[in-house]
């Protein structure tokens, strides 16, 4: 791997983690709306990038770096575990379903949106 690849990955990750921190700080509360929002938005955006056929250095910066740091699997699972420990089962189920079904749906929507726009533009 070239140094430029590492720098692109680091720069994207730095910006993505700052954006996630800002969203989580502003919107998280008893129900982790900030984490849910960044995970759904990140899934939509990575679907768009994949659907648009982005590859190489731009993909490394935007998808792997920025979106990899912007979305957060570890925080999601910690928040789910905290809901189990607090016996907040309704909130746990709602959060898990919204995150996983919403994320999958957003990734598909982004992919097909990009494919549709590219088809119209070509």
Q: Torsions phi, psi of 72, nearest 5?
A: -150, 100
Q: Which residues are CB-contacts of 109 (< 8 A; sequence separation ≥ 6)?
A: 44, 47
Positive/negative CA dihedral, 99, 103, 106, 108 = negative
Q: What are the residues facing 32 on neighbouring strands? A: 28
Secondary structure class of 86 (helix, strand, coil): coil
State yes or no: 71 annotated in a binding site.
yes
State yes or no: 25 annotated in a binding site.
no
Q: What is the crossing angle of helices 33-51 and 73-85, to 10°?
A: 150
* Length reported for the chain: 122
Pair of tokens at residue 38: 């960044």
Binding site as annotated, residues? 68, 71
Binding site as annotated, residues for Na(+)? 68, 71
């Amino acid at each position: 791997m070239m140094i430029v690849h590492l720098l692109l990955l680091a720069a994207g990750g730095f910006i993505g983690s700052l954006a996630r921190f800002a969203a989580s700080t502003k919107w998280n509360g008893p129900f982790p709306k900030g984490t849910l929002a960044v995970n759904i938005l990140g899934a939509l955006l990575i679907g768009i990038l994949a659907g648009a056929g982005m590859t190489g250095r731009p993909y490394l910066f935007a998808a792997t770096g920025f979106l990899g740091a912007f979305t957060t699997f570890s925080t999601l699972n910690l928040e789910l575990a905290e809901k189990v420990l607090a016996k907040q089962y309704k909130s746990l189920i709602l959060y898990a379903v919204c995150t996983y079904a919403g994320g999958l749906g957003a990734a598909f929507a982004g992919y097909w949106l990009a494919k549709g726009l590219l088809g119209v533009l070509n």
